[in-house]
A and B are shown apart, each in its own frame.
Chain A
């Protein structure tokens, strides 16, 4: 404004001055819109119910990443719009629409439950809102439903099962029984495992299914005992995982038929599983005792900012922040430059506490999967089960917009 010639002394000058002031004001307002206005982030996560702890960890991780950048991404401050999705798929369209239509968020972040996440995917595709999935591992989100505006910073269920197949077969355990809940995550995890197993020369002799979310396993444990396989692979999570691991030990199977699983079997539930979980081996994209400076600094910062230690969900939330930061910095916070933003997100190299990862063509992380072993209350990383594993993304044909 100082450069504008706006000096006045006469009536005519007064008019000129008025003009000056209005254009100045207009100019100022436009400037504010471009740089100063807040970026609207819609967090749609479970804050009540079974997955509440996961929703909170993801939120904490995300906000930590933002706080490390001075509270700004791409030069813009953030405004959060939070919705509790209650892990209820039937409410997913309504909840997503609240954020997209009413609050007009620029970016959607969510969620934990696969069914809810697929509901979000549907609306994100219809409205081409940018969506980043910080947990749900349903194959379809970066498979047959993949889209340029849909990203995932966590895993696919296939990714957490596939590496274990080779690990098990390489130990000479060839005849395997699988047991899991009969729903998408269980089916996809066991599918990945079977694929890895048969590639390495083993085979699944029997697939056992439990109706979701039932936790009465006794009948099937008895069946495992009489089938006497070389080993058992399982996918359970949360309370089901606690009960399965304890029941497995109580039925006397532990120590006789080795049990393997995707990492969710022993993540966040070791205190509850206690003795029964000791020595269990699982595969996941994160674990305890990753001795990199990156992981150490993250863990210190997290436990300083929040009570308690970070878990895999906190890391996924944190990485969601990192990914979004990388994208927004490339377009200087202007979310309307959609194609540039998508291109920047696709190219991002995420220096994550779990180890560096990049995105596949289908927008899912290409990442190392660790083999972990339960020692005390920790999932100690013992080796890398599969380096830079990419989900096959079956059925994904990405149409460029």
Chain B
């Protein structure tokens, strides 16, 4: 019984990791932009959830409002800053996005202070399902998993089955060719970027009730996001999903079975995968 609960824990953690990392793999894989500020958007999402939930008193109302806000921030940042760096090398992008991390942290400190804040779980998802005499599973965690699965399914459909998805995939392979076919690739990129950071903010928002909001929360998830992206293969949504689930399960079982090595289990996994397939599990062509 315990093993199955642990497996559930691992899958649940993995799904959340997928949601965190998928925006990063989109932006990195399709646009070739190394966005270190990805974690900051996760933080922005969480803090907006905290703030809007207090203002509106209703998380269901706060979610669409917030997604709109972050999407607009994404559009503005792309058009004013990131768009200038597409033809430069990654180091410039690293510098820019690192600067953004500092700016976001400072703004956070100014607007919200440096305390830890809790975000209440919505009333309708507050209960838990009893599993054993001592253990029960919070419904909200199952809700997170379901949401992540829904997002993954929707993204798969859009990217693989629609015309927009085809354009995005084509753009990632050959930017100039797509443009010469009369498609405004710059606009497509702008939307992809805004969508990618919105995904990060969305992850922060739905994770906020379990993780609470605190300074530096963005940088904490950034490294694990990159691990997911690198294992999965840069730019691959499918890869991100497989990698996130692998990491979730390895990390969870590692903590239980090999507690001495739980800190390095995930990185060990990354090293093994990269030795076996240096381009990641699912390299996009």
Cross-chain contact of B135 among A49, A213, A225, A271 (Cβ < 8 A): A225
Do the beta carbons of A246 and B262 come within 8 Å of each other?
no
How far is A52 from B106 in the complex, measured between Cα atoms in Å? 12
* Known contacts A50-B216, A243-B210, A250-B138; A272 and B6 CB within 8 A of each other: no
Q: In the docked arrangement, what's the CA distance between A52 and B105, Å?
A: 12
Chain B residues contacting A56 (CB-CB under 8 Å) are 114
Residue ID in chain B nearest A209 by CB atoms: B259
For window 117-131 of B, CB contacts with A under 8 Å fall at 117-118, 120-121, 128, 130
Question: Contacts of A209 on B, CB cut-off 8 Å?
Answer: 259, 262
Q: How far is the CA of A257 from the CA of B135 in the complex (A)?
A: 10
Evaluate contact between B118 and A246: CB separation under 8 angstroms: yes
Bound Cα distance from A222 to B9, whole angstroms: 9
Q: Is A218's CB within 8 Å of the partner chain B?
A: yes
Chain A residues near B130 (CB-CB < 8 A): 252
- List the B side residues contacting A252 at CB < 8 Å: 128, 130, 134-136
The closest CB in chain B to the CB of A272 belongs to: B118
B139 CB to nearest A CB, Å = 9
| Given known A243-B210, A250-B140, contact A222–B120 (CB-CB < 8 A) | no
B147: interface (CB < 8 Å): no
- Which residues of the partner chain B approach A303 to less than 8 Å between Cβ atoms? none
How extensive is the interface on chain B, given as a class?
A: 35 or more
Stretch at the interface among B30-38, B180-188, B249-257, B273-281: B249-257
Instruction: Say yes or no for B58: interface residue by CB 8 A criterion.
Output: no
**Docked pose: A335 CA to B259 CA in angstroms:** 50
Q: Tell me how far the C-beta of B218 lies from the nearest C-beta in chain A, rounded to whole angstroms.
A: 12
| Closest chain B residue to A257, Cβ basis | B134
Contact status A225-B118, CB under 8 Å: no
Q: Does B113 contact A (CB under 8 A)?
A: yes
Extra pairs beyond A223-B2, A250-B121, A268-B115 (9, CB < 8 Å): A216-B13, A218-B13, A219-B253, A226-B1, A238-B116, A239-B211, A239-B212, A246-B210, A251-B136
A-B contact pairs, 21 of them (CB 8 A): A48-B105, A50-B114, A50-B215, A53-B113, A216-B251, A218-B141, A219-B251, A219-B253, A220-B255, A225-B134, A226-B2, A239-B212, A242-B116, A243-B211, A246-B118, A250-B140, A250-B210, A251-B128, A252-B135, A256-B134, A269-B116
